[in-house]
Each structure stands twice: as C-alpha cells, then as structure tokens.
Chain A
C-alpha cells in the first residue's frame, strides 16, 4: 500500500470509484479512524446517486428534429445514402426517436418496468440499417484483421468478445466497429452472405434485474432483430432475413457462446 497521507483528491477519487488501487487501503484506514470523514464520503456518494436519479430521466426525451439535423452534418459531407437512412427517423415517429434517445446511455434500464420493451430492438435495427446500408464503410476494421478487431473491442467493452463463426450458415465476417459512446459501448460485427445480405451482431454490457435470459424477436422497419441478455451482456442479431433464418443464426451464435464458457463479465 502507498502510505502517503490521504489527500482531498484521494477522497474525491474514492467517492467516484476512481481511486488508484494502491491508495485505497490508505483511504480506508483513514476512514476507519474518522467517522466525520465516513459521513463526508457517504454524503458525496449520495449526492452523486441523487443527481443521476434526478437527471437521468431527461435522457429519455425525444430529440428535437433540429438537433438530429445538426447531427447529420453538412450536406456536402454526409453520404447521401446515410442521409436517406436518417430521413425516416425524422418523419417517423417519436417512438423511433424515443427509442434512440433512451439509447445506449439509459442507466440500469429495467426492461420489465420501462414500458417499451422493444426499445433495444429498435436501436439495434436502426444501427444495423445505418451501417449495413453503408457501401463504403460498414465497418471500421475488416475481417482480415479480425484478431486486432477483437482485441480492440474487448478492451473497449471491458470484457472479452469474439466474432462468432457463421460460415456454416453462409455468412462471412465483413468486419466490425465500435458503436456509440462511453457508458455502454457496443461491439458490432457485420456479416454478409453470397446474396450480399448483411447481418449484424451487436454486443454490450447490460445489467438486468431478475437475471432471466429474455429472448425477444421483433421487426422494426423491415429489419428483423433477435435479442437476448445473458450474463449481464446483451446481444442483438439484426438483418433483413425472415424470422426462421434469423433465429437459426441466433441459435448458432448462442451455441458458440455457451461452448466458449464466456469469461466473467463485470
């Protein structure tokens, strides 16, 4: 343990769970001898949690069109194909926008309680459509560099991920990318068959209360999505396949994951 005296910065980092491991023992030692400090830490953590409680619901509001337009970027930069995919989101329902707004950042979303159980399938479908529809750059890292892709994505997600082998179903790996941002970064693996149909598998950390493996199938705007959560990890398999085909690919993936005896997730 690093025995230097405990500083303000140490205590704040301890509150936020960002304290360097070598300092934790020193801080806890200090706390053991100072009840006032314990109160301070408890209060600070309570304020953190309360602030998030107060402010997280704002994340669920539908996004105004002008901000979606701003995100689409200047016309001369954005590929026309991508803009066309975004247009349905403008016109469409607030439900689609709401689905995206709840998005990757909704904290501890309880699928049973939040009343929109297909939210994640909508997001998965939209994300799939955006990238599968991109001729030039559907993925960031291509299949020949699969090892690098997997290493990168595993690092970003914080747990090991692998690209399932779907060759037996006629789908070859095109490559992958990282989707969305900080809180629950999502790995996306893209596959393609001989008919140029594309499938994507999206994987991310997902806490769920109850611990059940919940399988869902939905069709969103013509994109089929097969979705499940297991071991605090969510999987969404998306594509313009019929239900039977999609589910059989899903079964293959599920089987491979089970066989892998996946490493412990956080």
Chain B
C-alpha cells in the first residue's frame, strides 16, 4: 500500500543500504568522489520521490532504480556538455584500492578482474554488477534499468563472454548454443 505523502522513508534501511549503493556507484562511475556524489543525489531523489516507494517492498532494489535514473540523466548532461566520463570509453581509472582479504584470489587477480569489469560497456557492466554482486533478481534488474528481461539476459551473457575472453589462456570462449 502506498505510504502517506509526508511519511518518511525508513531511515535505518536507507543507512544500511548506503554501503552497497556506494560500492555500485564506484564501479559505475570509476571514481570514489563521483560515486559518493551519485549516492548523495540518489538519496536526495529518493526522498523527493518517496511516495513512489511501497512500504514493505524491497527498498534497496528501488534505490538502485533511482540511482540508475540519476546516473543516466547525469551522463546525458555530461555528454551534452562534452565532459569526459571515464570508463565509458574503455579507459580504466584506477581510483580505488582493492582491499584483499585472505582468500583464494590474489590482489593482482582481483584488481585485474575489477579493471576488466570497468572496461565493459556500461550497460553490460550494470547488469553484471547487479546480478553477480548485488544479487538482485533478474526481474528487479529489468525494473531498475528499465529494460526488458530478455535484454537483461543478453547483456549478462555478453558481459560474461567478454570477461571470459579477457581471462582466457585457452582459445576464445565457446559460443553458446543459442536457441530462442
């Protein structure tokens, strides 16, 4: 049921969502400060549009939707103003450190992986992050990015194929049997 016009969004849930929003924004924008700007704008927009959120529904998924909209609008403006937006043209900006916990991957492997993800076209990068890292459902991703479900799946498939190519020692990734 929709919340009353003046009802606040649940602050603890918003606070709890911030680390994930920041993380996604970083890989999206390639820059720590721009990422935080994007998160701040997203939160401000969420408050403006709070009537659109249904109490009890997934706040995080809704916030990703808002962030996507804000991001797209900002990129459109930036393109119009001929501002250089890094990572869009394939140049990685290593504006972050990858902290590495003891685990099975080395810092080098992880840094390379994130760099490759950063070089993916934005639309593939978004889908891969939301599916693999944020673990949103495909339907939620479709809503967040305002694309059909089929497009989510095809972008995901292309993203994975590109990653695999980037890491392959062996010959190029086997083309999948695509049957509609």
Which secondary structure characterizes the binding site on chain A? helix
Interface hit among A37-45, A159-167, A215-223, A253-261: A37-45
Residue numbers of A with Cβ under 8 A of B are 4-9, 11-13, 15-16, 18, 30, 36-37, 39-40, 43-44, 47-48, 50-55, 57-61, 63-64, 66-68, 70-74, 77-79, 82, 86, 100-101, 103-105, 126-127, 130-131, 140, 152, 178-183
Q: Using Cβ atoms and an 8 Å threshold, which residues of chain A touch B164? A: 40, 43-44, 47
Q: Using Cβ atoms and an 8 Å threshold, which residues of chain B touch A60? A: 19
The answer to whether B157 touches A12 (Cβ under 8 A) is yes
A52 vs B134: C-alpha distance when bound (angstroms): 9
The answer to whether B180 touches A7 (Cβ under 8 A) is yes
How many chain B residues sit at the interface, stated as a range, is 35 or more
The answer to whether A55 touches B23 (Cβ under 8 A) is yes
Pick from B15, B47, B56 the residue with the most CB of A within 10 Å.
Answer: B15
Pick from B12, B129, B180 the residue with the most CB of A within 10 Å.
Answer: B12
A104 vs B19: C-alpha distance when bound (angstroms): 10
The answer to whether B19 touches A55 (Cβ under 8 A) is no
**Given contact pairs A47-B164, A71-B43, a sample of 4 additional A-B residue pairs in the complex whose CB atoms are under 8 Å apart:** A16-B131, A44-B164, A63-B15, A179-B10
Q: Using Cβ atoms and an 8 Å threshold, which residues of chain B touch A15? A: 160
Cβ of A107 to closest chain B Cβ, rounded Å? 10
- Considering the complex, give the chain B residue whose CB is closest to the CB of A101: B19
Which of B22, B55, B135 touches A67 (beta carbons < 8 Å)? B22
A182 vs B12: C-alpha distance when bound (angstroms): 13
The answer to whether B117 touches A51 (Cβ under 8 A) is yes
